[in-house]
Amino acid sequence: MLNYDEKRNFQRMDARCKIQCILPGSQQVIEGTTQDISAVGIRFEIDQALSEDQELEVLVEGGTTATPPLRALIRVQRVMADPGGAGFVVASSISKMLE
């Protein structure tokens, strides 16, 4: 059995994928890179700050044609300055999966 100390209900998986964030009410797209994904959330890096509790539509591309893109509505939970760069790290929860 795996020794897993994470206190969350769903294990995070490291995943470096392209993510596109579409701001509500606009066609503005912000591109970034995911850090990890779980069944209920996505953590990603972007160059633009977002507001906590902001809702966005996202498209996550798996990098191969064998994996279809993930489309979802997310809610921003936390925004932190990226300690390793000039952008921001965004922690989000998945509100709804889209087709």
Task: State the chain's mean pLDDT as an integer.
Answer: 88
pLDDT at residue number 1: 47
Residue 3 has pLDDT above 60, yes or no: no
CA 5, CA 48: separation in Å to the nearest integer? 32
* Residue range 36-70, pLDDT digits in tens: 999 899 999 999 999 999 999 999 998 778 888 99
CA 19, CA 33: separation in Å to the nearest integer? 5
pLDDT at residue number 62: 82
Instruction: Give the confidence band of 98 by pLDDT, cuts at 50, 70, 90.
Output: very high
Q: Where in 1-99 does DSSP place strands (E)?
A: 13-14, 18-22, 29-37, 41-46, 55-61, 70-81, 88-98
Mean pLDDT of 75-82: 95
Q: How far is CA 50 from the centre of its chain?
A: 12
Give residue for tokens 């965004």: 90
Mean pLDDT of 3-28: 77
pLDDT at residue number 5: 53
Domains of the chain in sequence order: 13-98 (2.40.10.220)
Longest Cα separation, the chain: 47
In whole angstroms, how far apart are CA 21 and each of 1, 6, 80? 37, 28, 17
